[in-house]
């Protein structure tokens, strides 16, 4: 029984698209064998695990100094509970590809790896895209 559940679990989209962190995956490998012998608690555990909502990732491509970036972060403050925020400093050598692409356009924002907006924050666009992400998760 455990092997069937483990196979289904590791083939699930959350597992394969790296939405779950390595630590979560390791925890699941440790916990599942101990809990799956209890059918009721196992079903509840799996249902709870895969019904969780995951926050989208908002990435800001920036450099220092960047007054427009600072302004954009202030505008985004009321929305910070709705996404995971990452900053990419395009001046670092490992981010050369982003420097080549965005050196004249910062701030630039991506939502879940997809271009969202540049130069100024459009709160209406951000709200629309965050709502779309919420709908996809339901």
Cβ burial, residue 138 (10 Å; 0-12/13-18/19+): exposed
The pLDDT value given to residue 35: 46
- % of the chain surpassing 90 pLDDT: 57
The pLDDT value given to residue 137: 79
Average pLDDT on 28-50 reads 54
The closest alpha carbon to 117, from 54, 78, 69, belongs to 69
Residues 133 and 111: beta-carbon distance below 8 Å? yes
Comparing 5-9, 61-65, 112-116, which segment has the lowest mean pLDDT?
5-9
The pLDDT value given to residue 106: 96
Q: Is the pLDDT of residue 22 over 80?
A: no
């Amino acid at each position: 029984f455990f092997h069937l559940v483990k196979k289904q679990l590791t083939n699930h989209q959350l597992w394969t698209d790296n939405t779950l962190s390595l630590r979560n995956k390791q925890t699941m490998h440790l916990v599942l064998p101990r809990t799956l012998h209890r059918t009721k608690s196992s079903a509840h555990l799996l249902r709870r695990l895969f019904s969780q909502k995951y926050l989208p990732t908002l990435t800001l491509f920036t450099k220092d100094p960047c007054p427009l970036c600072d302004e954009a972060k202030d505008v985004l403050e009321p929305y910070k509970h709705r996404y995971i925020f990452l900053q990419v400093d395009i001046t670092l050598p490992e981010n050369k590809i982003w420097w080549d692409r965005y050196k004249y356009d910062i701030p630039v924002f991506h939502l879940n790896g997809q271009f969202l907006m540049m130069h100024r924050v459009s709160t209406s666009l951000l709200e629309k895209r965050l709502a779309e992400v919420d709908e996809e998760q339901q």
